[in-house]
């Protein structure tokens, strides 16, 4: 069934979260890949923890807290100026090479982003990659003040487009996001760029692609 709208996750799906660290290194010495991966891991852990405690703080606050935690755990010598540079770089993540052609191939279908990011972070990322014309809506969890994979987040897509979840395609590269969207009732496509083998205990994706520009071939 051709979807009536497509909803995309942002970080890790459209935008490369590791580009903030790896693009130029910001003068930091040490294992930059380890820093980037631990930063991302801690960031996600903080969103889940805050959601379970029902003590919401926005994504930018948690992203900075996660960065400081990762730097401390890895015992890296990073100045306040370098921390500031990394946080600014997170506002301008690089889109994956398959994203722009993939979005263009879906022209005619309403597209949206549904993300943990703050509105300011998402608007900055979209603008930096010249994707403003691609999306009908950019939806932030700030609207409900809880993070994925809460059903309250996935309900935002339904409320925005006034469609049933099953009439829409939800696209994510994050396995936990795939599980959450599928459990809510979306038709779900996993973008598995790394060819990682994940066994879903429940709520497996309906479809899988290696690149965003392959989605149009599914319908």
CATH at 194: 3.40.50.1000
Buried b (16+ CB within 10 A) or exposed e, 196-213: eeeeeeebebeeebeebb
In this predicted structure, what is the pLDDT of residue 194?
86
* Section 1-11 average pLDDT: 95
Whether 204 and 187 have beta carbons less than 8 Å apart is answered as: no
- Under DSSP, the state recorded for 25 is G
Kindly state whether residues 213 and 110 are assigned to the same domain.
Answer: yes
Q: Which residues have a catalytic role annotated?
A: 9
pLDDT tier for residue 200 given thresholds of 50, 70 and 90:
confident
* Section 67-77 average pLDDT: 96
Kindly state whether residues 66 and 84 are assigned to the same domain.
Answer: yes
Kindly state whether residues 24 and 51 are assigned to the same domain.
Answer: yes
In this predicted structure, what is the pLDDT of residue 204?
84
Whether 126 and 135 have beta carbons less than 8 Å apart is answered as: yes
Among residues 44, 48, 64, 65, the alpha carbon closest in space to that of 56 is found at: 48
Does the structure show a pLDDT above 90 at 97?
A: yes
In this predicted structure, what is the pLDDT of residue 192?
95
The pTM (predicted TM-score) of the whole model is 0.94
Kindly state whether residues 98 and 138 are assigned to the same domain.
Answer: yes
pLDDT digits (tens, 9 = 90+) for 137-164: 999 999 999 999 999 999 999 999 999 9
Kindly state whether residues 77 and 50 are assigned to the same domain.
Answer: yes
Kindly state whether residues 106 and 199 are assigned to the same domain.
Answer: yes
Kindly state whether residues 186 and 199 are assigned to the same domain.
Answer: yes
Number of domains in the chain: 2
Kindly state whether residues 110 and 121 are assigned to the same domain.
Answer: yes
Among residues 116, 125, 135, 42, the alpha carbon closest in space to that of 90 is found at: 125
Give the chain's mean pLDDT. 95
Kindly list the distances between the CA atom of residue 34 and the CA atoms of 71, 96, 194, in Å, as whole numbers in the listed order.
10, 20, 17
Does the structure show a pLDDT above 80 at 26?
A: no
Neighbours of 170 (CB within 10 A): 29
Among residues 213, 29, 201, 13, the alpha carbon closest in space to that of 21 is found at: 29
Tokens standing for 54? 């029902």
Which of 71, 90, 109 lies at the terminal end of a domain, its last residue?
90
**Least confident residue range of 10-14, 56-60, 110-114, 196-200:** 196-200
pLDDT tier for residue 197 given thresholds of 50, 70 and 90:
confident
Which of 72, 90, 108 lies at the terminal end of a domain, its last residue?
90
Kindly state whether residues 145 and 56 are assigned to the same domain.
Answer: no
Kindly state whether residues 145 and 157 are assigned to the same domain.
Answer: yes
In this predicted structure, what is the pLDDT of residue 28?
86
pLDDT tier for residue 27 given thresholds of 50, 70 and 90:
confident
pLDDT tier for residue 198 given thresholds of 50, 70 and 90:
confident
Residue 36: CATH number of its domain: 1.10.150.240
Which of 90, 120, 137 lies at the terminal end of a domain, its last residue?
90
Kindly state whether residues 101 and 207 are assigned to the same domain.
Answer: yes
Neighbours of 194 (CB within 10 A): 8
Does the structure show a pLDDT above 90 at 24?
A: no
The number of residues making up the chain comes to 219
Kindly state whether residues 85 and 150 are assigned to the same domain.
Answer: no
The residue segments making up the domain with residue 114 are 5-16+93-218
Does the structure show a pLDDT above 80 at 199?
A: no
In this predicted structure, what is the pLDDT of residue 176?
94
Whole-angstrom Cα Rg for the chain = 17
């Amino acid at each position: 069934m051709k979807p009536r709208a497509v909803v995309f996750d942002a970080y890790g799906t459209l935008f490369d979260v590791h580009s903030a660290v790896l693009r130029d290194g910001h003068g930091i010495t040490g294992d930059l890949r380890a820093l980037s991966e631990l930063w991302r891991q801690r960031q996600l852990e903080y969103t889940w923890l805050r959601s379970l405690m029902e003590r919401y703080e926005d994504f930018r606050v948690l992203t900075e807290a996660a960065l400081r935690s990762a730097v401390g755990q890895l015992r890296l010598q990073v100045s306040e100026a370098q921390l500031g540079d990394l946080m600014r770089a997170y506002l301008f993540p690089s889109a994956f090479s398959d994203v722009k052609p993939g979005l263009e191939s879906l022209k005619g279908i309403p597209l949206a982003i549904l993300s943990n990011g703050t509105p300011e972070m998402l608007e900055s990322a979209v603008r930096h990659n010249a994707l403003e014309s691609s999306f009908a809506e950019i939806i932030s969890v700030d609207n409900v003040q809880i993070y994925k994979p809460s059903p309250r987040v996935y309900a935002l897509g339904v409320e925005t487009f006034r469609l049933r979840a099953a009439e829409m395609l939800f696209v994510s590269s994050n396995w936990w996001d795939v599980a959450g969207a599928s459990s809510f009732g979306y038709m779900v496509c996993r973008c598995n760029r790394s060819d990682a083998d994940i066994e879903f205990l429940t709520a497996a994706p309906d479809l899988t692609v290696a690149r965003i520009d392959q989605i149009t071939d599914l319908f």
